[in-house]
Structure 1
Amino acid sequence: MSTSSMTVPAGLKMARKHGASFGDDRLWRWLTFSPALGLMLLLSVLPLVNLLISSFQDISWADGSAVRTFAGLSSYHALAADTLFAAGLANTFIFAFAAVAGQMVLGLGLALLSSKVTRGRVLYRAIFILPILIPGIVIGAIWKLMLNYDFGLVNQGLALLGIMPQDWLGAPETALLSVIMVDIWHWTPFCFLLFLAGLESLPQDVFEAARIDGASAWQEFFHVTLPLIIPTIVVTFAFRLVLAFKVFDEVYLLTSGGPGTATEVVSFTLYQRFFTEDRIGYGSAMSIAVIFIVSLLLVIALSARRQAAAS
């Protein structure tokens, strides 16, 4: 019997048909996705490439146009001797980890309490998320008034307790702590919402089995809730750490980096280099260094998430 006269099995015909359809669908998906991918590359990669190129140049202005001079690695070498950048980097790490730790603890606590409430849960949740809805400029005005040395509500409350007033925003010992507390107040609702979504997605049969076995509330939390919600904790921590590392508005509105370098953060240092001192090349090198540090933190956080999910 010749090969041409052999009957092709129906299963093989169907496989070929589905294979062609799959190939067409895959091509169509790429064609429809390519405009969005091109736009993303245009809006993100090209500015990053321009920033990287600028970091190897000295840029000045003449007759309304930029004059670029190749400077090699001089801007990166200058970073090691920049005491303001070093102070900003140290304060940023302290601020980010302290603020995020406070937000995580408070957010998880509020989420656990809110998940147990049945009556008025919508009202409680609306109250909890109010701070995150307030614009940054309004938050700066509110807390600058509340922390005022002469007539602030915080010092008035301390006076009622017989405690001497504190210069919260003007003393090096308390300025960074005050900014951290404001950031905790502002961003705890973000952690609260993510934790609440994570708690409400957990399987309830596991908790019912724990209660049947006689587990107490603390045992249920440490041995059931916490292991199940670890992926949510890691994701929330990664999101908030990256956002906290970019803090600017609260520092600018409350202390402007002072007193001295007590609240100097990397974002504020970058602002000064770019817009106050007009050092575009050096500011670009500093930006690349900050992007590298933030990317490294994100990679570490995502690696921890994968390990938590695998365990």
Structure 2
Amino acid sequence: MQSNKLGWILLAPTLVILFFFGVLPFLYVVFVSFHQWNPFAASPEMIFNGAENFRRIVFDEAFLNSLGVTVMFVVFAVLSELVIGYLLAQAFMKEFPGKSIFRTIHTLPLIMAPIIVGSVWKLMTTPSIGIIPHYLDEWFGISMNIGTSAPAAFMTIVIMDIWHWTPLVTLTLIAALVSLPRDPFEQAQIDGANKGQIFWHITLPMITPALVATIFIRLMDALRTVDEVWMLTGGGPGSSTRFLGVHIFKEVFPKTNYGYGSTISVIVLYLTIVVCWLLYVSMLAPRKNRKG
């Protein structure tokens, strides 16, 4: 009993901070989502409109387009980061010349703020001064302009996200691989299992918890991407890179439509929770049932 009381006392500061900076803002956003509110209008008071904002969102083509673009971005970016991160993690498990230097360089993008990453990639992809368009044109004869080409803008953002966040996936999977016991792998090799069978039946099931945690982190980050995209393309050209985070930003700040922007935020949070729950059920629940 005494240890439980001490535990709650130690947790109290964190719980208080979480309540004031997490729970209360969330409840306020939910409250605002049921109102029409422009605090900078001639009549800045909130006008309760029930579920009108939620009804409107179903028929909002701009929102639906942003949702589709965001889903495509999440699929391409997160899957690529998982594959590349796993391959790099396996490479770092072996010794090779310059390993420590390469590992340090590989981790450097993680210490950069997202807005800085967007600024750097903006400089690298500007046609007149950027190194990427210059060498694409010089070596392959490809003209690249993310300001006018929607596919180029989208793929540049995907590559930028992979460059920025693959080191996080690599580090988490290295930690998972290092902690694996060697006995199952040695036994599988004795039984004549090939590398594919060892990965599918031994490695993958054993690193699934770390893999799911990594997917959750990257999924939530990718769904709310704003900084890099805003700095690189501003959501353009047109609406080709107007992700959900950028769409919310434009609704709340340029349009000062706080009620509808809050509604979109609540919907995005709900979709994130649903997707994470589905991933948990599909990846971890069967594993627990097999143990049971």
Is TM-score (shorter-chain normalized) higher than 0.5?
A: yes
Can you give the 5+ residue segments of structure 2 that lack an aligned partner in the other structure?
A: none
Residue type at the aligned position of 1:304: S
Aligned to 2:93: 115
Larger Rg over CA atoms: 1
Residue type at the aligned position of 1:85: F
Matching of residues 291-302 of structure 1 within 5 Å: 291-302=269-280
Identity, in percent, stands at 30
CA distance in 1, matches of 2:247, 2:69: 11
Alignment of 1:254 onto 2:232: yes
1:205 Cα shift?
1.8
Aligned to 1:179: 157
Aligned to 2:84: 106
Matching of residues 65-84 of structure 1 within 5 Å: 66-84=44-62
CA distance in 1, matches of 2:286, 2:139: 46
3-state SS of paired residue (1:67):
coil
Aligned to 1:284: 262
Alignment of 1:38 onto 2:39: no
Residue type at the aligned position of 2:163: W
CA distance in 1, matches of 2:41, 2:77: 46
CA distance in 2, matches of 1:169, 1:197: 40
Alignment of 1:225 onto 2:203: yes
CA distance in 2, matches of 1:63, 1:247: 29
Change (3 A) 1:34 1:119: same
TM-score normalised by structure 2 residue count: 0.90
CA distance in 1, matches of 2:112, 2:17: 31
Can you give the 5+ residue segments of structure 1 that lack an aligned partner in the other structure?
A: 1-22
CA distance in 2, matches of 1:305, 1:37: 30
Aligned to 1:7: none
Alignment of 1:51 onto 2:22: no
Matching of residues 117-266 of structure 1 within 5 Å: 117=95, 120-266=98-244
Aligned to 1:13: none
What number of residue pairs does the alignment pair up?
A: 289
Per-residue CA deviations over 1:19-41 (Å, capped at 9, x if unaligned) read xxxx3433443344344323322
| Contact in 2 for aligned 1:195/1:232 (Cα 8 Å) | yes
3-state SS of paired residue (1:202):
coil
Alignment of 1:269 onto 2:247: yes
Aligned to 1:18: none
